[in-house]
Amino acid sequence: MDAQSTFVHPTALVETGATLGANVRIGPFCHVGSEVTLGDDVALMSHVSVTGPTVLGAGCTVHPHAVLGGAPQNTAYKGEPTKLVIGRNVTIREGVTMHRGTGNARGETVVGDDCMFLAYSHVAHDCVIGQRVTFANNVMIGGHVTIGDHVIVGGGGAIHQFCTIGNNAFIGGLTGVAHDVIPYGLAMGSRAYLSGLNLVGLKRSGMDRADITAIRHAYRDLFADNGRSVRENAEGLVDAYAGIEPVQQMARFVLDGAKRHLTTPLSGADARRAENHAG
């Protein structure tokens, strides 16, 4: 610890063995465990608990009553040495919880750089969170969830264990996601369905207009009612949109397969009811 640049409030407890970088700020009534590493310029504001083998990257800010690195909520966990690894410049707001991995799975929970977790959101064991991901208030994700880069999950959203959410997807508020969501997908509903593409996010990303147009056409082709399966349609995208990386990413997501089924658009009477409800 660099005693000249790092501040620890007199009421905070930093256990022997913890590693603190330069310019770390630990506020009142915080607890930092013996197996914790805090990178340069990390700020724990107050009443923060960081335990277990946990790493916070440089520039992270953690607000009051967050609990990071706790044991997984999994009856299969028997105290094995597992980890929580949080990237750089992550903002963690009030009451957020993040758990370590389990010994019979990945063994670590990983959070990428430049993410934002708003109040009382939860990251369960063995999850992998990409970069620039945003969780709004009260978002909950189960164990073994994988979330791509630039994903936004609206307030109160819930994601079932083992689901995969593709890059640049948007999950609406109060949406329960039980199946995988394709890259660039827009999922909503009490039991999630695809209502289209995350066009706002695509435009904000600075993506080329031609690529956005290609993604829109590919989305239509992927879920076309043509007597073929979604997987067969995805195979067709590989050749039909050769050289267009965002579409290839969408096709690979479907073809690589996962533990969960795909979230798909509604059809028939269900689609009409959803349109009437939205109106």
* Catalytic residue list: 125-126, 143
Phi, psi values for residue 171, rounded to 5°: -110, 120
CA 85 to chain centre: 13
The three-class DSSP label of residue 239 is helix
CA 45 to chain centre: 23
- Rounded distance between C-alpha atoms, residue 237 and residue 251, angstroms: 6
**Which residues are paired to 7 by β-bridges?**
25
| Structural element, H or E, at residue 101 | none
Q: Which residues of 232-247 are buried (b: 16+ CB within 10 A; e: fewer)?
A: ebbebbeeebeebebb
